[in-house]
Amino acid sequence: MEYDVIVVGAGPAGLSAAYQAKQLNADLSVCVVEKGSEVGAHLLSGAVFEPRALNELIPNWKELGAPLHTEVSADRIYLLKGAEAATQVPGFAVPKTMHNKGNFIISLGNLCRWLAEQCENIGVEIFPGFAAAEILYNESGAVYGIATGDMGIGRDGTKKDTFMPGMELHAPITLFAEGARGHLGKQLIERFKLDKDRDPQHYGLGIKEIWKIPEAQHQPGLVVHTAGWPLRESNSHGGGFLYHLEDRQVAVGLITDLSYSNPHLSPFDEFQRYKHHPRIAEHLAGGERLSYGARAICKGGLQSQPKMVFPGGVLIGDDAGTLNFAKIKGNHTAMKSGMIAAECLVNAYAAREAEERSPIELTQYSEQYRASWAYEELHAQRNFGPAQHRWGNFWGSAYAFFDINICNGHVPWTLRDPIADHSTLKPANECKPIAYPKPDGKLSFDKLSSVYLSNTNHEEDQPAHLTLRDATLPIRENLPIFDEPAQRYCPAGVYEVVTEGDGQPRFQINAQNCVHCKTCDIKDPAQNIVWVTPEGGGGPNYPNM
């Protein structure tokens, strides 16, 4: 199928790009492929939403019914000093990037469902349930589109009765908007050496739940952020969040930096015990857990951003790591990066003959991006993430206060963070084991009942989408050295080491449980696990994450 523009991924970056391209030139044919069963099914964010990009893209969003219902009404930051103790950080001492006046607490899934409707109203074609599985290159090496995955292939690789071959979609320009650790984005970065001279991308794993709480505890618009306990006990970094949305709902989550070094750490169990801290439990007590999910978040900032342009395509949003970690916000910058790509491609089409179909290289893009407010804010706050890694949450935040609040980000130095997250684990026998408490079934739960609430589903009879470059390595190396950390870092219980009748350990992959967070692809110390797209439509089915 021939299009003028292909977009891979219906998140905020992809949909904003599609909308802007069609809005600026209604004659362009624009299509979006999305691997989730519907738009929003795979989206998971906090989310405190800064509406700046949306104001530019669709200024009358209020009239059009955008689901921004809850304006931030109060902002609290706590330093959790232990399982019981906490100190509230006074407003004046908080890095100003963490203030949320004028922002909204939203469900990203619902925002994107609405954005998709706006796109379709102006003629964008959206194909949910279709994963872009392969990049198409022409004879000169430029990208000329993507192929969606075949459907109906059995576990053993044979075609089933339901077999449907994948489709090839061709276009002079393809926008890759797969979000953090995009699986095609990763291949493009490698092929075109887009990360040359950049720091490696850094990630956190965000685990989130939505609760319905008693009316008396509900404070719509309240934003709570925390640092310190429980991650500090293992010298790990990250932070928690709790947001009161509309309709008695509360979003609660913990982001564990994937630079942690203790292989005994389990981000899932850290999150479960986090909810028992009195400053968090007081919001959730007596409530009911409605949903569960997990997703990696990009946090390397500008120093880790790859070059975004290559012949025939552009990486936008978190496929290129546009998130501003000093704000823990990436939706507005992802949208803006997509809008800039759309503006550039519309100009590129205006400058060529109508029948010309060769791949476009958006040479203007880098300059336009550098001139944008998205780049400006990332530049001003570029030292936040590296400072947190170097000096921990407390001293890192103190440094951020100096850099961001006092110097407005105009310091003459740029901190680097050159160690990739998969290289930070220490051998298990050098680290303190962590004894996690048993879930109480009221505030904390086990993994399997949690995964159940993600509504994840994959056709069982298909090739595993979690592939191993070397199938023997988990047992041969990861188990003796790191006690196979995949058993603990996967928030969906996909990886297990089981002992067979012969007493030999075996590495088992329960691929159906996967919630597409991408942590295994990031954290596996040998980079042996490679996440590839399963059959389209497989994966979580989040209602409003």
Ligand X SMILES: Cc1cc2nc3c(=O)[nH]c(=O)nc-3n(C[C@H](O)[C@H](O)[C@H](O)COP(=O)(O)OP(=O)(O)OC[C@H]3O[C@@H](n4cnc5c(N)ncnc54)[C@H](O)[C@@H]3O)c2cc1C
* Binding positions for ligand SF4, rule: CB under 6 A: 466, 490-492, 494, 514-520, 531
Residue number with CB closer to ligand X (31 or 346): 31
Site for ligand X in 190-209 (CB under 6 A): 206, 208
- Contact (CB, 8 A) for 112 and 72: no
> Which residue type, as a one-letter code, is found at position 63?
E
Residue number with CB closer to ligand X (131 or 428): 131
Q: Give the distance, in angstroms, between the CA of residue 455 and the centroid of all CA atoms in the same chain.
A: 18
Q: Which does 300 bind (CB under 5 to 8 A by kind): ligand SF4, ligand X, none?
A: none
Measured CA to CA, the distance from residue 397 to residue 383 in angstroms comes to: 11
Measured CA to CA, the distance from residue 467 to residue 494 in angstroms comes to: 12
Pairing of strands 5-8, 173-176: parallel
Residue number with CB closer to ligand X (177 or 265): 177
Q: Shortest distance, CB of residue 427 to ligand X, whole angstroms? A: 29
Q: Shortest distance, CB of residue 256 to ligand X, whole angstroms? A: 10
Q: Shortest distance, CB of residue 85 to ligand X, whole angstroms? A: 25
Paired with 76 in beta bridges are 224
Q: Which residues contact 69 (CB under 8 A, 6 or more apart)?
A: 104, 106, 245, 246
Candidate residues 22, 35, 186, 336; the one interacting with ligand X per rule CB under 6 A: 35
Q: Shortest distance, CB of residue 422 to ligand SF4, whole angstroms? A: 13
Site for ligand X in 301-360 (CB under 6 A): 317-318, 323, 328-332, 334
Sheet order of strands, 5-8 included: 125-128, 30-34, 5-8, 173-176, 313-315, 309-310
Q: Which residues contact 200 (CB under 8 A, 6 or more apart)?
A: 300, 304, 417, 418, 419, 420, 421
Is residue 36 close enough to count as binding ligand X by CB under 6 A? yes
Measured CA to CA, the distance from residue 454 to residue 494 in angstroms comes to: 14
Is residue 46 close enough to count as binding ligand X by CB under 6 A? yes
Site for ligand X in 508-537 (CB under 6 A): 533
Q: Which helix (H) or strand (E) holds 451?
A: helix 447-452
Tokens encoding 108: 């990203």
H, E, C per residue of 458-519: CCCCCCCCEEECCCCHHHHHHHHHHCCCHHHHCCCCCEEEEECCCCCEEEEECHHHCCCCCH
Q: Which of 307, 365, 376 is nearest to 338 (CA)?
A: 365
Q: Which does 47 bind (CB under 5 to 8 A by kind): ligand SF4, ligand X, none?
A: ligand X
Residue number with CB closer to ligand SF4 (183 or 276): 183
Site string for ligand X, 257-296 (x = CB under 6 A): --------------------------------------x-
Residue number with CB closer to ligand X (37 or 444): 37
Q: What's 329's DSSP letter?
A: B
Is residue 386 close enough to count as binding ligand X by CB under 6 A? no
Q: Shortest distance, CB of residue 239 to ligand X, whole angstroms? A: 10
Residue number with CB closer to ligand SF4 (204 or 313): 204
Candidate residues 7, 18, 21, 33; the one interacting with ligand X per rule CB under 6 A: 33
Q: Shortest distance, CB of residue 259 to ligand SF4, whole angstroms? A: 16
Residue number with CB closer to ligand X (462 or 478): 462
Q: Which stretch binds ligand X (CB under 6 A): 137-145, 176-184, 350-358, 502-510?
A: 176-184
Give contact residues for ligand X (rule: CB under 6 A).
8-14, 33-36, 42-49, 108, 131-132, 177-179, 182-184, 206, 208, 253, 255, 295, 297, 317-318, 323, 328-332, 334, 533
